[in-house]
Structure 1
Amino acid sequence: MFSSLSKTLLRRPLFLNAALRLSSAAAAAAGSSRPSFAVSYLVNSCGLSPELALSISNSNRVAFETSARPDAVIDVFKNHGFSQSQISNIIGRGPRLLMASPEKTLLPKLKYLRSVGFSGSDLANLITGFPYLLTRSLEKHLIPNFGRLRDFLRSDKNAVAAIRRSPRILVKGFETTVDPFVKVLRDNGVRESSIVWLVQCHSRRMINWYDQLEEIMEKTKRMGFDDPSAANFAVAMLAVMGMSKSVWERKFNAYGRWGWSRDDAMSAFVNCPRCMTMSEEKITAVMGFFVNEMGLEASYLMQHPRLIPLSLEKRIRPRCLVFKHLLSNGLMKKKVAFTTLLSMSDEHFLAKFVTSHIGEAPELLDIYQEKKHMEMGTLVPEIAHSAK
């Protein structure tokens, strides 16, 4: 009998440990050796720690004596693809949701969010991060705020992308989060297309830096971007917004290793603000590839700084290695500038430099596919198949 009991305990050490912690925590706080039904449920069905479950129970945030309603709530989350760990996080942060009506409170909101484009992991991640969303009114908060964002960005897809990057827009509302910084941008003459881009892609930063936005725009103007209506003003403003003086110095130093002066780097920044939004590692990698592997002068990149922010793995390396192979094998009939080579669309590049030379150099597909990022993995095999 002792041997059988020992084997049972060894097989389930985690459950025993949780049970002991639950019992001792409840007894210490409530003076009883038996935890309440709610505490037991939070631990056994929701995956919360005994300490957190007891804290929630003692704060009167939940109180139930049967599992009917909580089970129904958990089933709603499971049926919408939420993992057990996500459900635990949601209940831990918003335990009152266990008492919500699935039919009246949860399902209509989840159904609406799915209908506008939140599905699968997007929906689960949104609710896990902000379970408070499910306590907001569907008719008075979620629908009108999503609608305002959708109208501003001109599509459900763009609105979902913006919320994915900055959920606070939907949690706190468009009027509270987006309207204030949009007004400042418009009052200062920033072009509408740039404002739309900032709302869709960079709302989180704009909201966080709202109190300093006027100061940041003035600093951006002093750095050489004196026209807020110019297309590159918004990018420059983000660079100014996101970098401390020490970070600026490190990036000046990164370019300095290739012979650029501070004035050279600032000139490149004015021509292409994204040159200063990259990490020092990316600057070093791109400059090194162009100079050491492709034989370009650093001064050429100074004159064409728009080449530097391009993706090294997705665009620069695969295209340049194909070009280099064609050149070394005498297959290039005309001169092609690097600016042209790297700025054309993927389809145009493949047609002009890969498929048109398959007969003479079938290895081009291997060179390009080996170095190209996986997102092009479906395009290259199709071309290879059609070329056979």
Structure 2
Amino acid sequence: MLRLRRSLFSQILSSPSASPISHLRRLFSAAAPAVPPNPSSFSVEDYLVVTCGLTPAQARKASPRISHLKSPTNPDAVLAFLAGLGLSGADIAALVAKDPLFLCAKVEKTLSPVVVGLTGLGLSRSQIARLVSLPGVTFRCKSIIAGLEYCLALFGSSDNLLRALKGGSVLCSDLDRVVKPNVAFLRECGLGACDIARLCIPTPSLLSISPERIRTAVACVEGLGVPCGSRMFKHALQAVAFLSEDKITTKVEHLKKTFRWSDAEVGIAVSKAPKLLTMSIESLQRRSEFLISEVGLEMTYIVYRPAMLMYSLEGRLRPRYYVVKFLKENGLLSRNRDYYSAVKITEKEFVEKFICPHKDAAPHLADDYGAACRGEVPARFSFT
């Protein structure tokens, strides 16, 4: 069925002499049975299952929203349109399950003009097909063209735009009352176009919060000791923008209690690693117990190296500590070698600097390190 619709849509696109919808009607008439369908026999729920590919449960949930449909004429045209864009059956089923009202959109009045408008912005047909499938993209509304034109200029490329929209649609927010004022304010904070794009591609919802909220977030960031224009400002803003003031206060108090830090020390740590504020209390507690009780680090040492609190305890902090301790205990590494120097480097660098040079003196070290990364504690890593 979808193959037929794809073929029909291709014929529509290649027929400039007639309007797409009139050509579509003629093609469907030719493909349909001679006996016209009986409107009273049309079942929305059955149509969603049999023709659109929804599960019975999905169809039951979606059907009340389009219960006013009395015939398959418009839904068939919409499905032909989607198939012509290149969406698979699974893609179409997911779209209809997410937005059943898409089946009520008018191909000639809305969907086709949107495709023409987006093509004019430089988007390829495959990119448009990806847009249709993204959550929060109101493709059945012509205003999407103006929103996408603005966001395309903001994010710099269609690929960046699609990456941003995948994480949450800016297009759901009022362009003139929310998005543009937020962008203007971020510019006032010293962020250029590239900075804003890098900030918002991973967290596009940042542009969708109210202008009042983003101003409050910036004030909070500055209150934590991270000034606008600093290297960590973008990271701090990402961390606090979606946290309430109560949650931020709770996290700060927990950092003070767990590490026995002063307000000033918390400010230093957060300014260096703002994402500490997004970590759970449990994960911070486990890392503090390991670093302080087992590794023996001082509180002030961690203040100036807070990034280590965000590394995986099982996959990085603990196994690398075992290796460093083993090497020191066996005279293969200076006892003055800093633990953080072994933690902050990449996995490849760690292996090259701490494992490979000792393959003759400690041929088992690589296997023991691998076991430690899997959560085991090899006997050679146990010291009394």
Report the TM-score, using the length of structure 1 for normalisation.
0.67
Residue 153 of structure 2 is matched in structure 1 by 148
**What is the RMSD of the two structures over their aligned residues, measured on CA atoms?**
4.2
Shift of 1:162: 1.8
Question: Which has the bigger relative contact order, CA under 8 A and spacing at least 6?
Answer: 2
Residue 220 of structure 1 is matched in structure 2 by 221
- Structure 1 pair 37–233 and aligned structure 2 pair: CA distance change class (3 A): closer
Q: Which of 136, 143, 159 is the matching residue for 1:130?
A: 136
Separation of aligned partners in 1, 2:217 and 2:151: 29
- Is the Cα contact below 8 Å between 1:165 and 1:202 reproduced in 2? yes
Separation of aligned partners in 1, 2:247 and 2:64: 47
- Structure 1 pair 114–287 and aligned structure 2 pair: CA distance change class (3 A): farther
Residue 92 of structure 1 is matched in structure 2 by 100
**What does the per-residue CA deviation read over 1:56-95, in whole Å, with 9 as the maximum and x for residues that have no partner?**
132x5x7435985466357568853635751441452422
Code of the residue aligned with 2:103 in structure 1: it is P
- Is the Cα contact below 8 Å between 1:358 and 1:364 reproduced in 2? yes
Residue 235 of structure 1 is matched in structure 2 by 235
Residue 17 of structure 1 is matched in structure 2 by none
SS at match of 2:303: helix
Residue 197 of structure 1 is matched in structure 2 by 198
The answer as to 2:43 corresponding to 1:42 is no
Residue 188 of structure 2 is matched in structure 1 by 187
Give the 5 Å matches for 1:4-153: 35-38=41-44, 40-46=46-52, 47=54, 48-50=58-60, 52-53=62-63, 55-58=65-68, 60=69, 63-64=71-72, 69=77, 72=80, 75=83, 79-80=87-88, 82=90, 86-90=94-98, 92-97=100-105, 112=123, 115=126, 123=130, 127=133, 129-130=135-136, 132-133=138-139, 135-136=141-142, 140-141=145-146, 144-145=149-150, 147-151=152-156
**What does the per-residue CA deviation read over 1:136-174, in whole Å, with 9 as the maximum and x for residues that have no partner?**
489x458634631442xxx554333222222224x6697
- Structure 1 pair 323–76 and aligned structure 2 pair: CA distance change class (3 A): farther
Task: Give the structure with the higher percent helix.
Answer: 1
- Is the Cα contact below 8 Å between 1:93 and 1:131 reproduced in 2? no
- Structure 1 pair 165–291 and aligned structure 2 pair: CA distance change class (3 A): same
- Structure 1 pair 268–40 and aligned structure 2 pair: CA distance change class (3 A): closer
Q: Percent identity?
A: 20
- Is the Cα contact below 8 Å between 2:85 and 2:125 reproduced in 1? no
Separation of aligned partners in 1, 2:78 and 2:168: 30
Q: Where in structure 2 are there 5+ consecutive unaligned residues?
A: 1-39, 375-384
- Is the Cα contact below 8 Å between 2:311 and 2:317 reproduced in 1? yes
- Is the Cα contact below 8 Å between 2:256 and 2:266 reproduced in 1? yes
Residue 9 of structure 1 is matched in structure 2 by none
- Is the Cα contact below 8 Å between 1:90 and 1:127 reproduced in 2? no
Residue 324 of structure 2 is matched in structure 1 by 323
- Structure 1 pair 235–266 and aligned structure 2 pair: CA distance change class (3 A): same
Shift of 1:204: 0.5
Q: Where in structure 1 are there 5+ consecutive unaligned residues?
A: 1-33, 374-388
Separation of aligned partners in 1, 2:148 and 2:329: 60
Shift of 1:281: 1.8
Code of the residue aligned with 1:233 in structure 2: it is F
Shift of 1:331: 1.8
Separation of aligned partners in 1, 2:176 and 2:360: 60
Separation of aligned partners in 2, 1:191 and 1:137: 26
